[in-house]
Amino acid sequence: MSSATSKSRHTTRGRPRLYTNYASEMAIFNTGAKRLWILIGFFALVILPFLLDRDMVSLGAKVLIFAIGGIGLNLLTGYAGQVSLAHAFFLGIGAYTAAVLGGEARGGVIGLGWDMAIWLPLAGLVPAIVAAVIAPLAARVRGLYLAILTLGLVFIGEHIFKEAKPITGGAGVGRAPAEPVFLGFDLFANYEVFGIEIDRYTMLFFTCLVIFVVMALLARNFTRSRFGRSFAAVRDRDIAAEVMGVSLLRTKTLAFAISAFYAGIAGALFSIVIGRISPETWNFFLSVDFLAVIFIGGLATITGSIMGAIFVVMLPQLVNALTRYLPIDPGVGGGGLLNVFELQSIIFGVLIVVFLIAEPRGLYGLWLRVRNYFKAWPFSY
Amino acid sequence: MGELLASLMRGLGTGGVYAMLGVSFVIIYRATGVVNFATPALMILGAFFTGYFGVSIGLPFIVSVILAMIVLAAIGLASERIALRPMVGRPAFSAATVTVGLFIVFLVLAGRLLGSELLIVNDPFGLNTLDVLGARIFTVDIARLIVGLVAIGLVGLFLTRSRTGLAMRATAFDQETSLAQGINVGRMFGLSWGIAAAMAALAGAMLVAGSSGVETTFALVALKALPVIILGGLDSIKGSVVAGIIIGIAESLTRTYQPQFAPWLGANFDVIVPYLIMIIVLMVRPYGLYGTKEVVRV
């Protein structure tokens, strides 16, 4: 097997799309260029935190978290075709599961102070179980009805979060998140390794990076499995899928549960990065942010979710950089045409519209265009 | 008794507004098959323009409401032409996501226009009350119900009696056949957006009337029209009216009696009652009270 693969690699040098056996075609990174760029990207991410200042590193962690959550929503909406506005609700459940199990009991809230090795998996599992319970209800409705149903879930969830004071601290008060102590090793503290200082934000970034890489690889692997294909079958034509023996109920339940698992992990990490969590965090607008991640990034691609996360999280920085050249008020006061936050939201809304109209495949689609242009060069027309 | 009557009347009032918002959704859904998530922002923009013409310029309330409806109809027409027309033939949820984008844009716009002030309109109702059978009833609630029923009645008359209304219904029924009969389908789409946006503006003005000022996040109230259209049926105007009133009364009764009888459900439980009703309806009867049952071609 290994000799066959190495031989095919050798003979196909320069012809990356020529596959001589099934295994190499189905490989997770099926071209040499992909393998190379993944390696380069990974090393860049390891070195990056040492070159950037603290705020940017925190923002980088947020990008990774949005990528995890975005991949989760993309598995549900992009691959399985079940549009969901309830993503923020599952992020919230994940965050509070983590906070209850791994946080401190202070100010009237429950906190067990367990280790991250326990609370991190549970922060994914509890939302997944909740989603699996809700999914049979959601599987009864399709398309726009599902969007409306999940919108209802966000509002009901927000109400529950506001009222469950022992768990969430209540409306306007909030609570401290879980403590990222993994097997007794504090991942949110300053360290010195071989004379290189690693501050706590960089540590947090690396924690998110490791979790992100694992989750992204799992997702990519999942999409080329039997279940991944059944997701696409349900999305493309659910009745045809059912005729072919794909159980709609089981597939949709699985899609909701997996998506909620990713959301829960993202929510738990997100709560650590923002520092203090209030029930209002997990609202309709956060769901819209995640929809923007997958619609701007590209539906049904893992790479697209990552691109979308980078874009959505970095947009405020971009807008800040633009303020010097445009009639924008840098503060929140009255002057100027628009202030930074407003411009940011407007760009956000406009881009969702523009991408859906002009390039439904999102940023990933733009990249495909660029790639195909150069691939066919000099006959790119 | 007085408490019950007052609560019922308040429910009827908000129900009238919900019915208008529901009709706004239904008109667009019937014509284009899209659920317009931008309605809340259109509603708050409508309320803003009513306040602008009424409070800042000083026109009478009725004139400023009508002007605001005209402005919003223009905005509705423009957004359909620019953002929704290119989405014809695409999956319904892509088009619905476009309206989510529009929602963000319009909400920011409303926030910017409003600045740091509270949104008020110069309605003649204020906090005036009538005394009926020992119950204090706000005149604004009576006005909301009457305005809602009259406006929806006018839209219904337009759709059933006029030539353009017939063309709109034909478009909703079958786009290709309508094209073959010489109906300008694109114009019908635009028209439905215009009417829906004007309806949302009227609902916004009536909702802000009788309050002492709201912020732009108040727009999310309009999302309660989604439970209304699910209960009434996505494509039924009659359903919107009935469901709007049911939801309005259910919410109002919960607000009056829940703190007394079921305090463990928490403060402001009435806010989520419409959504709970909606989830039950989706489970039991997904096409609603008067909606057409979805038939899927295999």
Asked whether residue A306 is domain-assigned, the answer is no
What digits encode the pLDDT tens for the residues B6-60? Answer: 899 989 999 999 999 999 999 999 888 888 999 999 999 999 999 999 888 888 9
In this predicted structure, the answer to whether residue B186 has a pLDDT above a threshold of 80 is yes
Give residues 122 to 161 of B whose Cβ lies within 8 Å of A.
none
Q: What percentage of residues in chain A have a pLDDT greater than 90? A: 37
Residue whose C-alpha is closest to residue A86's, from A290, A300, A253, A234:
A290
B256 vs B4: CA distance, rounded Å? 8
Q: Which residue has the tokens 């006005």?
A: B143
Instruction: Using a CB–CB cutoff of 8 Å, tell me whether B286 touches chain A.
Output: yes
Task: Indicate whether A337 pLDDT > 70.
Answer: no
The CA-atom distances, in angstroms, between A360 and each of A298, A357, B23, B97 are 7, 6, 30, 11
Domain that holds residue A183: 55-301
Query: Which of residues 58 through 97 in chain B touch A, CB cutoff 8 A?
Result: 83, 86-87, 90, 92-94, 96-97
Number of Cβ within a 10 Å radius of residue B33: 17
CB-facing half-sphere around the CA of B100: CA atoms within 13 A: 28
A183 in B contact zone (CB under 8 Å) = no
CA separation for the pair A159, B258 (Å, rounded): 15
Q: Residue A260: inside a domain, yes or no? A: yes
Note whether B108 contacts A: Cβ–Cβ < 8 A. yes
CB within 8 Å: B272 and A159: yes
Start-to-end CA distance of chain A, whole Å, equals 40
| Sign (positive or negative) of CA dihedral B175, B180, B186, B191 | negative
Over residues A11-22, the pLDDT tens digits come to 555 666 677 788
Buried b (16+ CB within 10 A) or exposed e, A125-152: bbbbbbbbebbeebbbbbbbbbbbbbbb
What are the start-end ranges of the E strands in chain B? 129-132, 135-138
Cβ pairs bridging A and B (under 8 Å): 119
In a domain, B252, yes or no: no
Domain residues for B159? 2-220
Burial bucket for residue A280 (CB in 10 Å: 0-12, 13-18, 19+): middle
C-alpha A284/C-alpha A272 separation (Å) is: 21
- Residue A63, pLDDT > 70, answer yes
**What is the per-residue pLDDT across B199-249, written as a single tens digit (0 to 9) for each?**
999 999 998 888 777 887 788 888 888 999 999 988 889 999 999 999 999
Q: How many domains does chain A have?
A: 1
Q: Is the residue at B164 inside a domain?
A: yes
How far apart CA A20 and CA A13 sit, in angstroms, is 12
Name every chain B residue with its beta carbon within 8 A of the beta carbon of A155. Answer: 223, 271-272, 275
What is the average per-residue pLDDT within B93-108?
89
Give the separation between CA A104 and CA B207, rounded to whole angstroms: 44
Q: Summarize the confidence of residues A78-105 as an average pLDDT.
A: 91
- Given a cut of 50, whether residue A82 has pLDDT beyond it is yes
- Between residues 85 and 114 of chain A, which touch chain B (CB distance below 8 Å)? none
B239 domain-assigned: no
Closest CA to A77 of A247, A284, A234: A234
Contact between A352 and B98 using a beta-carbon 8 Å cutoff: yes
For residue A5, give every residue at least 6 positions away whose Cβ sits within 8 Å of its Cβ, in sequence order, or none: A21, A23, A24
Is the confidence at residue B62, as pLDDT, over 50? yes
Report how far apart, in Å, the C-alpha atoms of A151 and of each of A83, B18, B21, B150 are.
10, 17, 17, 30
pTM strictly above 0.90: no
CA distance A173 to chain B (A): 15
ipTM: 0.86
How far is residue B244's CA from residue B231's CA, in Å, rounded to a whole number? 9
A284 vs B: CB within 8 A: yes
pLDDT digits (tens, 9 = 90+) for A136-148: 888 888 778 888 8
Q: Is residue B240 part of a domain?
A: no
CB of A145 closer than 8 Å to CB of B230: yes
- The residue type of B237 is I
The answer as to whether B65 is a domain residue is yes
In a domain, B298, yes or no: no
Minimal-distance CA residue of chain A relative to B221:
A155
pLDDT, greater one: B158 or B111: B158
SS3 content of chain B, % helix, strand, coil (to 5): 75, 5, 20
| Residue carrying the six token digits 């709109």 | B168
| B227 lies in some domain | no
The residue type at B218 = F
Selecting from A156, A345, A348 the residue whose C-beta is nearest the C-beta of B276 gives: A156
What's the structural domain count of chain B? Answer: 1
Could you tell me where the beta strands, DSSP code E, fall in B76-170?
129-132, 135-138
In a domain, B90, yes or no: yes
